Structure 1
Amino acid sequence: MPVCLTSPTPFVKGKQELKISITAEAELLGLTLSDLGKQVRQAFFGEEAQRIQRGRDEIKVMVRYPSQERRLLHNLEIKRIRLHDGIEIPFSVAADVLYDRGYSFIERTDRQRTVDITAEIDEAKANANEIISDMTLNVLPRLLEAYPEVSYALEGEQRDQQEALGSLKQGYVLALLMIYALLAIPFRSYVQPLIVMAAIPFGVVGAIWGHVIMGLDLTLLSLFELVALAGVVVNDSLVMVDFINRARAQGVHLFAAIREAGLARFRPIILTSLTTFAGLAPLLFERSPQARFLIPMAVSLAFGVLFATFITLVLVPVCYMILEDIRQVFSKDGE
């Protein structure tokens, strides 16, 4: 995988320690791991017996093994563990001891132990989204299968990206609803706004193909520009539908009105799209590092408008004719 992983700091080995676990025999006798750990702590760390006030100072009185005995592991091995009924058993019967090194420190989030794994991406070979996708599909499922108690979460840039995409979806739906409402009011129709908005998906297709042609990856800024693109690509459709409605209001036949709209609005629509693309061309071919993050936005807008324009010149007349045919069918059924 073309990434350079950094070593997760929680796995840096710390000092040597004794890891104590309770035996099955001790559990049968009613001893718990908490009781075992508490008695070992009382013997070596101590238990507070009382506090004595001496002037301004407060002195804790701790009961524990003498200093010399606390330094020898042998005293732990010969220690007696007391059960709930007062019977004492040898420490070797109550516990298993493992000599190992602990962690230098442990990080926790919401009471769960966490390990942060970070990586620097070699953008010449892959991007972060491709690597994350490969890990979630191939690597992490095998890890979770081998260790069911482990869970994972994407943080950092990936978390910010997911939150941004979530808000972007809501904003995109809201923008489409506002566009529909603004078109439905002047048209006084619930269907004609859909004809105008039919160019929006083709604008998205054009934006995607623009990234393919330019050899760029879709970025978050590219997706944000798709929301703005939805309000731009409807302009050509709006002009054509409005021209057809005005011609029909003057008594022109439907087919003639559509033909006149194509002839009268062809040049303005083409020039509008071409000038938009030409205005964005300097940014599209800019190679300076300062403008690199803006290029995906320009690609989405330029290629989206250009592709949707040619589709609009065919799609809008066809959809308008289909709409009128459907109206005639329903009007005949009503009669």
Structure 2
Amino acid sequence: MQAFPVMRQGFGQRTQKPVQFVLGGGTYEELARWRDTLIDHVRENNPRLMALESNYNETQPQLRVEIDYERAASLGVTVMEIGRTLEVLLGGRNVTRYVDDGEEYDVILEGDRGSQNSPRALDNIQVRSARTGELIPLASLVTLSDFAGASTLNRFDRIRAITIEANLADGYPLGEALTYLEEAAAELLPEEAQTNVAGASRDFRQASGATAFLLILGALVVFLVLAAQFESLIHPLVIMLTVPLAMSGALLALLLSGQSLNIYSQVGLVLLIGLAAKNGILIVEFANQLRDEGQAFRTALIEASVTRLRPILMTAVTTMAGAIPLIISTGPGAESRLVIGTVIMAGVGSATLFTLFVVPVAYDLLARHTGSPGAVKRQLEEEIANAPSD
């Protein structure tokens, strides 16, 4: 359940499709066959991938020059001479440079463009024999054939590549589409075929990995801050147990409402780490204070849970109420506000519900044999007070 926003392009620019699946590893002819195999399979089995196309389109009329190597060798014409002649007359060759008035200019040798209007112009080209020095018609050494080729030959990560592009049907996650293409390519294509992603699909993959790292880093920072405050590793662990439960509630709300995990919901999940930990802090901190006053462990825990119930509910209700305008707002940007509001409301609600049950039980099981943050201070004060005076 993930999606990635694609920025709209300005007028005159080609809008990239969200699915950018790259095939690489062979010659362009092999890549074209692999592309056709994969596209035909997708069209037959997955209608949710729409408007399939590639950036390798054989629509450019071209001529293939096939050299008769035996005849060329018998007449003393080398393949290099044939290639260099075609390069000069049909393209152009930089032969030298000259300097005039302090400026350097390239000298390019090329054929007359006016005599190259048709493929038959190749019949007028002649090459010189290295053996006899005579001019020999090129048409007697080569065979011309028409074919349709691609106007551009693309590479990806320095290898020959063809990129397959597609649009997604409504409700079809980009991550699921990429996984489907990778599995289909592994099943249908030979082992030497390489796959990768580009464009919006590459950004999506990178953002997905960054999301997990961001959430883990946020939870770790909160845990370390709480550990420093409570002077314990057990108490922060009890508090942080509500964070995954709160995120589960937020993700469930996104799923039930038909929304996606995008950049806005990721912001909401990061905010939820602190909001979910707040309720556990109220219970654990007050229980520690009661234990510092000398109350028994179970009595302090029960009184802290009962006493802090009202503050927990009040802060939860006000936080959830603050998210309502985000959910019901309209106009430009309403979609992004809706996602953040849904995450906050559902996450805080589930965190509050689970806090009332999970935190007291976890505190009773894990923190029974731990001291409160003030225990060390009281012990030092008692030892100083009971120490014999000089």
**Residues 1:231 and 2:277 are matched in the alignment:** no
**Residues 1:183 and 2:226 are matched in the alignment:** yes
Alignment TM-score, normalising by the size of structure 2? 0.65
Superposition CA RMSD, Å: 4.4
Deviation string 1:130-149 (CA, Å, 9 cap, x unpaired) is 323322233x3245x24835
**Residues 1:155 and 2:199 are matched in the alignment:** yes
1:332 paired residue number: none
**Residues 1:210 and 2:210 are matched in the alignment:** no
CA 1:74/1:176 → structure 2, altered by over 3 Å: closer, same or farther?
Answer: same
CA 1:170/1:15 → structure 2, altered by over 3 Å: closer, same or farther?
Answer: same
1:23 offset after TM fit, Å?
Answer: 7.3
Q: 2:186 aligns with which of 137, 141, 150?
A: 141
CA 1:326/1:105 → structure 2, altered by over 3 Å: closer, same or farther?
Answer: same
Alignment TM-score, normalising by the size of structure 1? 0.74
Q: Which runs of 5+ in 1 are unaligned?
A: 329-335
Deviation string 1:44-103 (CA, Å, 9 cap, x unpaired) is 6687778899999989695989x9899455578x979879xx9xxx99999786531232
1:243 paired residue number: 286
Structure 1 stretch displaced more, 128-137 or 96-105: 96-105
CA 1:62/1:172 → structure 2, altered by over 3 Å: closer, same or farther?
Answer: closer
**Residues 1:303 and 2:346 are matched in the alignment:** yes
**Residues 1:101 and 2:148 are matched in the alignment:** yes
| Cα distance in 2 for residues equivalent to 1:25 and 1:152 | 45
Q: 1:130 aligns with which of 176, 179, 183?
A: 176
1:300 offset after TM fit, Å?
Answer: 1.4
Secondary structure of 2:180's match? helix
CA 1:199/1:33 → structure 2, altered by over 3 Å: closer, same or farther?
Answer: farther
Structure 1 stretch displaced more, 99-108 or 182-191: 99-108
Secondary structure of 2:344's match? helix
Letter in 1 for 2:149: G
Identity %: 25
Structure 1 stretch displaced more, 179-188 or 198-207: 179-188
| Cα distance in 2 for residues equivalent to 1:59 and 1:321 | 85
1:104 offset after TM fit, Å?
Answer: 2.6
CA 1:3/1:326 → structure 2, altered by over 3 Å: closer, same or farther?
Answer: same
2:308 paired residue number: 265
1:311 offset after TM fit, Å?
Answer: 1.1
CA 1:79/1:35 → structure 2, altered by over 3 Å: closer, same or farther?
Answer: closer
CA 1:25/1:306 → structure 2, altered by over 3 Å: closer, same or farther?
Answer: farther
Secondary structure of 1:152's match? strand
CA 1:64/1:299 → structure 2, altered by over 3 Å: closer, same or farther?
Answer: closer
Letter in 1 for 2:366: L
1:6 offset after TM fit, Å?
Answer: 6.1
* Higher helix fraction (1 or 2): 1
Letter in 1 for 2:309: F
| Cα distance in 2 for residues equivalent to 1:316 and 1:159 | 40
1:307 offset after TM fit, Å?
Answer: 0.7
Secondary structure of 2:172's match? coil
CA 1:195/1:49 → structure 2, altered by over 3 Å: closer, same or farther?
Answer: closer
Contact 2:122 2:139 in 1 (8 A): no
CA 1:280/1:73 → structure 2, altered by over 3 Å: closer, same or farther?
Answer: same
| Cα distance in 1 for residues equivalent to 2:193 and 2:59 | 22
| Cα distance in 2 for residues equivalent to 1:41 and 1:324 | 82
Secondary structure of 1:251's match? coil
1:218 offset after TM fit, Å?
Answer: 2.3
Deviation string 1:288-321 (CA, Å, 9 cap, x unpaired) is 5631122122111111111111111111111112
CA 1:53/1:181 → structure 2, altered by over 3 Å: closer, same or farther?
Answer: closer
Q: Which runs of 5+ in 2 are unaligned?
A: 1-46, 372-390
